[in-house]
Amino acid sequence: MKRIMLLECMQEISSFNPVQSGYDAFAIQRGAEMLRQRGLNSGMGGALSVFDAAEGVELVPVYSARAGSAGLLSAAGWKRLSGEILEAVTAAMSGIDGIYVSLHGAMGADGELDPEGWILREVRRLAGPELPIVISLDLHGILTERMLQQIDGLAIYHTYPHVDFGDTGERAAKLLLCLLANKTRTTIARVVIPALVRGDELITKSGCYGDMLRECQRIQRDGTAMSAGIMIGNPFTDVPELCSQAIVMTDDDAATASAEAIRLAEMFWPERFRMQGKFISLERAIAQAKTMRGPVLFTDAADATSSGASGDSNLILKALGEAGYQGKVLAQIVDPVAAAAAHKAGVGAEITVTLGGQFDPVRFPPMQVTAQVKLLSDGKARLETMRAELHAGPTAVLTYGATTVVVMTCSVSLFDRAMYYSVGINPTEHDLIVVKSPHTEYHMFDQWVEKNFNIDIPGATSANLPTLGHTICARPMYPLDEGVTFTPVVTIYARQ
Ligand SMILES: [Zn+2]
């Protein structure tokens, strides 16, 4: 019987969100509660499906913490979270044969800018040098030197917009079972690429990044590598090792791992120019939208809650009002004060409130509206792809003129239509829909809109990366700096 420890800690932060997040941003599951993730399209859900089907595996679920994307985790939040993780892992370590850790990779805490590296170092210290540790990661994660020094294997998302959460967990679990069965020694090659990327070329189905990820998948499937990926980091997580990187893991074959990692990095580097956001100014987008039959999408990637932004940007709503746009507008905003006012007033009431700027008033000065309360909800929804629960807190549908705004108390991921559907709104019935996510799955909006405008406005997750003001990540870094050059250098991580 092999006893496998399960551990999870996932958050993605934007350093440019002015509000820190805390311990209460995390949904915590302890021990067997984690097994409720069975059937979910998540790293843990996928891993559980493999472990459950395997012979002779005993699961030891210890601790899971999953948070929505937000600002930097506070020092107090990290102290409590890391303390609980340490305590849970310590208590369960005796008799463990292998460890699976489900991570996102783009955490950051006040005073600890490599939380995942801290967790893995502590797990390794408690586990000793022999136990295999395998992790799964989002391709937006920042895989650090300290993380690589602790692990025996890893699996990385291969899709964007992400749909392979469960598949990645399955790959990680299979790797761990393989390492346990064969006592395989592994080698991981890493090539750091000094580039941050964004934009439509990242979309797996259509973009050049997808072509590279298919090479990663190919060398995994044909047996050249046990695992491969190209991680691009979350460009808003301003931490020392923020970068793009090619990662190839082999069965103790350093030469192949190195050669493949260099090859992938050399595919990536020349495409860095293409892999940048293409924008239109808000004024021009509105002027064009006024002349179009529509419907049109206004992508507010700068306020993408799923990348760690505050979700309280009102810049598009304000400009549409000022420009006298006449079409039916549909938007979402995080504003706990307006949501509370609507819940207090009740359905049918007319209220005068400010919308937006509750968290980031410097970027988004609050705008006053007099609106009708059309509908109230508890803000519960389920993501379309992952089926994970969303808890937006008391939520209200407000209307003013031809504009409908879904006002949420808490920030949740808005990369699909879940929060619109949860309040009975069909986006196709509107002329202009605001989406606070850089991309959605094609069928959700792009398939039926006349044009998707990627709006260049301020925000904590603006794809206009040089405007953000990075101060911590290694420099020079394309496109933050001019004249960045790249000579591939491989670092090999092999556990002895
Ligand atoms: Zn991601």
- The 10s digit of each residue's pLDDT in 327-374 is 999 999 999 999 999 999 999 999 999 999 999 999 999 999 999 999
Question: What separation in Å is there between the alpha carbon of 293 and the centre of ligand 1?
Answer: 33
Q: Write out pLDDT tens, residues 282-330.
A: 999 999 999 999 899 999 999 999 999 999 999 999 999 999 999 999 9
**Residue 231 Cα to ligand 1 middle (Å):** 10
Compute, in angstroms, the gap from residue 162 CA to the centroid of ligand 1.
7
Question: Phi/psi of residue 43, each to 5°?
Answer: -55, -50
Distance from the CA of 200 to the center of ligand 1, in angstroms? 14
Centre of ligand 1 from the C-alpha of residue 233, in Å: 8
pLDDT tens profile 48-95 = 999 999 999 999 999 999 998 999 999 999 999 999 999 999 999 999
Is residue 19 a contact partner of residue 97, using CB atoms and an 8 Å limit?
Answer: no
Whether 122 and 67 have beta carbons less than 8 Å apart is answered as: no
Dist. CA 451 → ligand 1 center (Å): 24
Distance 105 CA to ligand 1 centre (A): 9
The secondary element (H helix, E strand) that includes residue 9 is strand 2-10
Dihedral, CA atoms, 358, 360, 361, 367, nearest 10 degrees?
-60
Between the CA of 235 and the centroid of ligand 1 the distance, in Å, is 11
Q: What is the reported pLDDT for 153?
A: 98
Give the Cα-Cα-Cα angle 75, 79, 81 (nearest 5 degrees). Answer: 115
Give me ligand 1 centre to Cα 156, in Å.
10
Q: Are 310 and 236 in contact (CB under 8 A)?
A: no
- How remote is the CA of residue 367 from the centroid of ligand 1, in Å? 31
Give the distance (Å) from ligand 1 centre to CA of residue 328: 31
Q: Could you tell me the distance, in angstroms and rounded to a whole number, from the CA of residue 133 to the centre of ligand 1? A: 22
CA of residue 414 to ligand 1 center, whole Å: 13
* CA angle 49–222–51, rounded 5-degree value: 15
467 vs 196: CA distance, rounded Å: 13
pLDDT in tens, 39-52: 999 999 999 999 99
CA of 107 to the centre of ligand 1 (A): 12
* Token output for 118: 């801290």
Using the CB atoms, write b or e for 151-162: b if 16+ within 10 Å: bbbbbbbbbbbb
Token pair recorded at residue 268? 């990536």
| Segment (H or E) for 17 | none
Strand order in the sheet with 187-193: 227-231, 244-250, 187-193, 490-494
Ligand 1 mean position to 262 CA, how many Å? 23
Respond yes or no on whether the N-terminal peptide bond of residue 194 is cis (omega within 30° of 0): no
CA–centroid distance, 139 to ligand 1, in Å, is 6
CA of 369 to the centre of ligand 1 (A): 34
Residue 124 in contact with residue 90, Cβ under 8 Å? no
User: Span 17-39, mean pLDDT?
Assistant: 96
325 CA distance to ligand 1 centroid (A)? 34
Q: Looking up tokens 């409908």, which residue turns up?
A: 404
pLDDT bin (cut points 50, 70, 90) of residue 442 is very high
- Span from the CA of 317 to the centroid of ligand 1 (angstroms): 27
Could you tell me the distance, in angstroms and rounded to a whole number, from the CA of residue 432 to the centre of ligand 1? 26
Whole-number Å distance, alpha carbon 424 to ligand 1 midpoint, is 28
Confidence of residue 451 (pLDDT cuts 50, 70, 90): very high
Give dist(CA 114, CA 146) in Å, integer. 8
DSSP 8-state assignment for residue 195 = B
Tokens linked to 104: 């996102």
Mean per-residue pLDDT over the chain, rounded: 97
C-alpha 138 – ligand 1 centre gap (Å): 5
Q: Which backbone phi and psi does 133 adopt, to 5 degrees?
A: -120, 125
CATH 3.40.50.9100, the chain: domain bounds: 2-274+489-494
Distance 9 CA to ligand 1 centre (A): 14
> Residue 385: its pLDDT value, please?
83
pLDDT at 387: 85
Confidence at residue 150, expressed as pLDDT on a 0 to 100 scale: 98
> Under CATH, what is the fold of the domain 2-274+489-494?
Rossmann fold (3.40.50)
Rounded distance from Cα 364 to ligand 1 centre (Å): 25
Ligand 1 centre to CA of 459 (Å) is 18
> What gap in Å lies between CA 248 and CA 226, rounded to an integer?
8
- Distance (Å, rounded) from C-alpha 209 to C-alpha 272? 10
Predicted confidence at residue 429, as pLDDT, reads 97
pTM for this prediction: 0.92
Predicted pLDDT of residue 294: 85
Compute the average pLDDT of residues 113-119: 98
Q: Ligand 1 centre from 191 Cα, in Å?
A: 20
* β-sheet bridge partners, residue 13: 70
Per-residue pLDDT band for 496 (boundaries 50, 70, 90) equals low
Which pLDDT score is estimated for 323? Answer: 98
Neighbours of ion ligand 1 (CB under 5 A): 138, 140
Query: How far is the centre of ligand 1, averaged over its atoms, from the C-alpha of 318 (Å)?
Result: 29
Give whole-number Cα distances, 394 to 3, 348, 411, in Å.
42, 16, 11
Span 162-175, pLDDT tens digits: 999 999 999 999 99
